[in-house]
C-alpha cells in the first residue's frame, strides 16, 4: 500500500470520527439533565429544568410574592426564587387541614418541585416567619 493511500485512509477515518463526536455532543446537550434539588421521598417529585407548567413565587424580606396564586388541579411545579435573602429558609406546603405535604430547605437561588394536588386550599409558609404566607387555590 502506498504512503498516499494510508494517509488518505487515516484522513477519512478521522473525518468520520469528528462527525460522530459532533453529533454525539449535540445530542448530549439536548438531553435533559436532572438536578439534585431538595431530594426527599414523597408524592412530590423533582422538576426538570425548563418544566413549562409552573407557579412562580418569589421569596423576599417581607414574605412571598404574590401572596396568593391559583392553579388547576393536577400535576404542576412550584418554583420559588430567592434572589435577595441569605441563609437557609424552610418552606412548607400544607393542606387545608394543616398536614405538611412537602418541606423544602432553600437558600439563595431558585428551587422547584412538582406536586399533584386535588382541588382545595393550600398554603406555602416559612417555618420561622409565620407571617410569610402564600395561599394556593387549586380548582
pLDDT digits 0-9 by tens, 43-83: 333 444 444 588 999 999 999 999 999 999 999 999 999 98
87 pLDDT band, cuts 50/70/90, is confident
What does the alpha-carbon distance between residue 33 and residue 47 come to, in Å, rounded to a whole number?
11
Alpha helices, DSSP H, located in the chain? 3-30
1 pLDDT band, cuts 50/70/90, is low
What does the alpha-carbon distance between residue 61 and residue 64 come to, in Å, rounded to a whole number?
9
What does the alpha-carbon distance between residue 119 and residue 88 come to, in Å, rounded to a whole number?
31
The pTM for the full model equals 0.61
Q: Which helix (H) or strand (E) holds 59?
A: strand 54-60
pLDDT digits 0-9 by tens, 119-137: 999 999 999 998 999 999 9
Amino acid at each position: 500500500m502506498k504512503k498516499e493511500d494510508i494517509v488518505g485512509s487515516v484522513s477519512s477515518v478521522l473525518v468520520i470520527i469528528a462527525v460522530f463526536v459532533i453529533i454525539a455532543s449535540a445530542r448530549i446537550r439536548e438531553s435533559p439533565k436532572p438536578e439534585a434539588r431538595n431530594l426527599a421521598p414523597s408524592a412530590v417529585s423533582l422538576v426538570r429544568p425548563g418544566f413549562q407548567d409552573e407557579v412562580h413565587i418569589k421569596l423576599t424580606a417581607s414574605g412571598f410574592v404574590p401572596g396568593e396564586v391559583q392553579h388547576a388541579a393536577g400535576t404542576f411545579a412550584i418554583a420559588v426564587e430567592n434572589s435577595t435573602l441569605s441563609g437557609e429558609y424552610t418552606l412548607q406546603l400544607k393542606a387545608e387541614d394543616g398536614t405538611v405535604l412537602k418541606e423544602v430547605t432553600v437558600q439563595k437561588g431558585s428551587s422547584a418541585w412538582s406536586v399533584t394536588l386535588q382541588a382545595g386550599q393550600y398554603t406555602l409558609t416559612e417555618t420561622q416567619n409565620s407571617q410569610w404566607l402564600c395561599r394556593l387555590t387549586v380548582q
